[in-house]
Amino acid sequence: MLRRAVASGLSPSKIVDALTIFSGASRIEGVHPLQFCYVRRKMRRPRRSGMRIANPLVFYPWRIADFVKVAAQWLMLATRYRRIMKRVLADANGAAYMDEALRPPAATGENADFVAAFADKIPHTHGAPTREPVAIA
């Protein structure tokens, strides 16, 4: 992804930041990336019904240790992605990187008008082009 970003002229640091947040939210915090917040609020009193409120002498030391552990995991993940970015930026041929996704579409060929070729298979509710009936002579 970073090689594609460099070859496309996108900002690699923005890509690294997005990669860090989107991969770390689910791995580290255990939440969907769009539900993620930088500092997760875990409080002692709000509990599910039937559960006892945690003892403050147990909860607060656990919360401090949990916060330090999570912060260290975020730091390691961000450092790992920054190292990868430095390697990609150090590559002399980074701007010339090319793969199948970056190749421009062929001007002529079987995939030149892919949507029109399969218009009859796409439901009309999705805005597919309609195929004109061919007059048989």
Q: What is the mean pLDDT of residues 99-121?
A: 68
Q: What integer pLDDT is reported at residue 56 of this predicted model?
A: 86
Distance CA 1, CA 120 (A): 34
| Position 63 in a domain | yes
| Position 92 in a domain | yes
Sign of the Cα torsion 31, 37, 43, 46 reads negative
> Domain count of the chain?
1
| Position 128 in a domain | no
Mean pLDDT is lowest, of 111-115, 125-129, 132-136, for 125-129
**pLDDT per residue over 16-36, tens digit each?**
999 999 999 989 988 888 888
Across 26-30, 55-59, 70-74, which has the greatest mean pLDDT? 70-74
Q: How confident is the model at residue 76 (pLDDT cuts 50, 70, 90)?
A: very high
Using CA atoms, how far residue 40 sits from 2, 16, 44, 47, 62, in Å, is 29, 21, 13, 16, 14
| Position 136 in a domain | no
| Position 51 in a domain | yes
| Position 30 in a domain | yes
For residue 52, the enclosing domain spans 2-96
| Position 120 in a domain | no
Give every CB contact of residue 8 below 8 A, 6+ residues apart in sequence: 102
| Position 104 in a domain | no
Average pLDDT, the chain: 81
Q: What integer pLDDT is reported at residue 107 of this predicted model?
A: 59
Q: What is the mean pLDDT of residues 61-88?
A: 93
